[in-house]
Amino acid sequence: MNYTSNTRTNYFRVIPEKEQEFLAFMKTLRGEDHVSLFDIKNKEGEQFYGFGLYGCLGGAADPALEDDSDEMWDELQEKGWKRMEDKLQEFLLPGDAVIIEHAGNEGLRYVSANYTIITKDKVLFKDMTASAIDDAAQMLGDPDFQTRCEY
C-alpha cells in the first residue's frame, strides 16, 4: 500500500501591487502533482488566493535550474520549502496568514497530518501526532508518556 495525501491552503490575500509577481511565483511551486491555484473575490471585491495538490508539496523550485531535472528535485529538497515560506511572506498582505494543511495515510498503517502557518513575520509548523502525544502526556500528568501511533 502506498502513501496517499492531499495538501491545501486557506484563502489568503496578497499585496495588490505584487499580485503579478505572486502569480508568476506560484508557477515555481512543485510537489508530487500539479499545484492548482484557486482564486475568489468576496462581496467587497477583495481578491483571495489559495492553492493545493494531490500529494505532498515540496516548495518553490529554483527557476535557474532545469525544470524536472534531478538537480532541481535535489535542490528543492534542501531549500525549496524555506524559499516558498520566504516568498509567501513577501507577498502576503499584513494581517493575513497562509495556512498549509497536509493530511495523508498509508492504509491503516499510519495517518499523518500537519500544518504550517505563514504570516508576514513568523512561520509555525505543527505535526498532529507529536501534538497529540504531547497533549496526552499533559492530560495524564506524565511528561515522560510515550506511545506508538503507527505500524
Q: What is the pLDDT of residues 22-36, one digit of tens each?
A: 999 999 999 999 999
Residue 148 lies in a domain: no
Confidence of residue 99 (pLDDT cuts 50, 70, 90): very high
Residue 128 lies in a domain: yes
In the chain, the number of structural domains is 1
Residue 103 lies in a domain: yes
Boundaries of domain holding 60: 4-140
Distance of CA 33 to the CA centre of its chain: 14
136 or 66: whose pLDDT is higher? 136
80 or 67: whose pLDDT is higher? 80
The residue behind cell 511572506 is 89
Residue 145 lies in a domain: no
Average pLDDT over residues 128-136: 96
Residue 29 lies in a domain: yes
CB 133 within 8 A of CB 147: yes
Confidence of residue 65 (pLDDT cuts 50, 70, 90): confident
pTM of the model: 0.91
For position 57, what pLDDT does the model report? 94
> What is the distance between the alpha carbons of residues 73 and 114, in angstroms, rounded to a whole number?
22
Residue 15 lies in a domain: yes
What 34-42 contacts at long range (C-beta under 8 Å, 24+ apart), as own/partner pairs, is 38/11, 40/11
Residue 150 lies in a domain: no
Residue 120 lies in a domain: yes
Task: Using DSSP, state whether 83 is helix, strand or coil.
Answer: helix
